[in-house]
Amino acid sequence: MKRKITQERVYNFLKQNIQEEKWISGMKLIEQDIADELSVSRTPVRQAMDQLVEEDYLVRLPNRGVYVRGKKMSRREFVERIQLLELLMSNYFFQIESKSMMVESDELYQHFEKIKRLLALRDFENLNKEIQRFISCLFSENRNQIILNLILSNYVKLSASRISDLKPIVFYEQVVRFFERMLPHLESYQWAMVRKELRIFLNNLVLEVVDRQL
């Protein structure tokens, strides 16, 4: 009876972290780390993971371990979030241009170098955190914290989503490509080109989803 209660507690802990998106899609879960955190043996952790693999919350890859699949998102919700993200970010770039505001490009490049290294390592958990720091830095001149929070929350939802087998590596490669193409335009204050690169990036994400449904 005690063993069953322990396994149920571990199962609820894992599932809650996935559903609340504390653990992002593509994040690797280590049995021993979870067992240590919950002060249990590895057996109930393994059993709970097996159950969540069956329920499609986790995926077990041969010789690689267990990874978070992420929360399923409908194609419609995915596209709607893309559209909202474009609206919020484009509006911000218009504001910067109209008010001749400065952008800390040096700090953005520092974040970008870290992002490229983390992508090469396939360290999706820390990569996602560094991308959020990049976004916060990019929008640091925005005095409206609500707008920044909306942009970040939409990005987090998209990065944690699982739709049409859009793999985390594909999503992050698109993000990094956008940053790489955008930064030179941003540094030279070519805001029309910045907005153009934003549209290309978001359209490419939508196309990735559509292509996988054909």
Strand 58-61 vs strand 65-68: parallel, antiparallel, or unpaired?
Answer: antiparallel
pLDDT value of position 209: 76
pLDDT value of position 214: 47
Residue of higher predicted confidence among 71 and 110: 110
Q: Which two tokens stand for residue 48?
A: 């709970």
pLDDT tens-digit profile of 186-199? 999 999 999 999 99
pTM over 0.75: no
Q: In the structure, what pLDDT confidence band is assigned to residue 69 with cuts at 50, 70 and 90?
A: confident
Q: What is the edge-to-edge ordering of all strands in the sheet holding 65-68?
A: 28-29, 65-68, 58-61
- Interatomic CA distance for residues 71 and 157, integer angstroms: 9
Q: In the structure, what pLDDT confidence band is assigned to residue 6 with cuts at 50, 70 and 90?
A: confident
pLDDT tens-digit profile of 111-165? 999 999 999 998 887 888 899 999 999 988 777 788 888 898 888 778 776 665 5
pLDDT value of position 162: 63
The residue-averaged pLDDT of 39-66 equals: 87
**Mean pLDDT across the chain:** 86
What is the CB neighbour count within 10 angstroms for residue 77? Answer: 14
Residue of higher predicted confidence among 8 and 71: 8
Q: In the structure, what pLDDT confidence band is assigned to residue 213 with cuts at 50, 70 and 90?
A: low
